[in-house]
Amino acid sequence: MKRSRLNLFKATSMTISILGIIMIIVTILVVGYIGFEIVSSSISTHVSSGSAYDQIANLNADYSSLQAQYNTTQETVDSRNNQNLTQEYDTAEIQLIQAQTDINDAQSAIESNQPPQEIQNRITTAEQQLDTAKNSLNSLNAQLG
């Protein structure tokens, strides 16, 4: 009878050990899979935002160029000492400031990991505002002759 209990204890102990090893292996596999998914998702997010960063860099370059044109135009407007031209310049400059705000807003969306559609919408808004600022400057330059 004592041998029977000893064999039963050995069998039970062996079964528990095997189940423990299997559970450890399954846990390692599940944790590994979850870790892989997190890393994979992070990489794909950074890749998709890479093109958005390129668009933001282009917008910033266009903005800097436009700002230089505004500075040149401001000197011309100031030298003319015409109140109407000064007022029109100020209105156009507000468009430029709004363009910078929209560019910063788009960049903020990228940095805060907004959805790609939201980022693209903000970039499109910034592009449109930059075009509006260019058109305002062109209109003012046409008046300056």
Average pLDDT over residues 128-139: 94
- What's the 3-state SS for the chain? CHHHHHHHHHHHHHHHHHHHHHHHHHHHHHHHHHHHHHHHHHHHHHHHHHHHHHHHHHHHHHHHHHHHHHHHHHHHHHHHCCHHHHHHHHHHHHHHHHHHHHHHHHHHHHHCCCCHHHHHHHHHHHHHHHHHHHHHHHHHHHHHC
pLDDT attached to residue 44: 59
pLDDT(18) > 90: yes
pTM for this entry: 0.66
Could you give phi then psi for residue 81, rounded to 5 degrees? 55, 45
Average pLDDT over residues 8-36: 91
For residues 133 and 98, the answer to whether their CB atoms sit within 8 Å is yes
pLDDT(144) > 90: no
pLDDT band at 35 (very low <50, low <70, confident <90, very high): confident
Distance, CA of 32 to chain centre: 28
pLDDT attached to residue 6: 78
Average pLDDT over the chain, rounded to an integer: 88
pLDDT tens for 92-128 read 999 999 999 999 999 998 888 888 889 899 999 999 9
Distance, CA of 48 to chain centre: 9
pLDDT band at 70 (very low <50, low <70, confident <90, very high): very high
